[in-house]
Chains A and B, each alone.
Chain A
């Protein structure tokens, strides 16, 4: 669904992305890995259109710049890392912002809002003020908003996650990632996620791309990609491996 070809970004003479070519399929969680400064966030911003990179980025064969804004918003959404709101919207109103690119009747909109809030487990605090919610609750509200935004897509939508678990405790992190995985497996979403925790990468990603100084260093499934040598090379850390009961490996 998403195809990047020779994407480069060079603001003020500093090469942040160097000829990046990757492709993401519907129905997979695609992880972006790399040390700090490797270009993960820049790459995600290039995909979301926050920065203008050279090269070609296409979604369903059509260059992002060619898409109609609202059509694109129905197919491509970003879950922000954290969102500050100066004015106290209620959680439900924040979710309703997902209606912005859509044209729905009031009744349809109301039932979809409820549905998405149930799906992300935030219906119980629908009427509380957003600024009074905890980091994890806010993240779920934002996820409901994003799901609403993508609810009228004609093709499988693409969801971008920028360190989605950074503001959350352990349980919340796994809940969010499990929910994302369900969207991918059941509804055919494509997901591109920046994750720092390599164990989460091993557990939830189908494929990942390892970035190094703005360049693609490797693309593979996480268990093949995350060899001891690579981890040592990119993160200067020598991990130890534990084989779990279900045959999966965990890094310590």
Chain B
């Protein structure tokens, strides 16, 4: 089973609560650029939420130091002690879910903790599970 953050674009109103909660939790500051998920404003009140699907694992295969591994929960995790900050993972991520902040040493990504889902006023985010190979 793979635990992941399921995104429901149709319900998103772009309030940015998720990004605020996430960045406060992980970066100790409210800054959407440091959130582990991304809210893309497509215009006309339409939004696209981006978070790691925990499934493609191209970053896991690409990491030269094996700092990126898959936890028992199926979540892809970065071990900062092993990461050398090369950003190869950012380059191979097909959906832009592996992020970095200029000048900070390590990339970051959604680890499906669910804090944003709890805070979302529109139920646009939820923690879900899927089988290996099953498309969400």
**Is B a genuine binding partner of A?**
no
Binding site for B on A (CB under 8 A): none
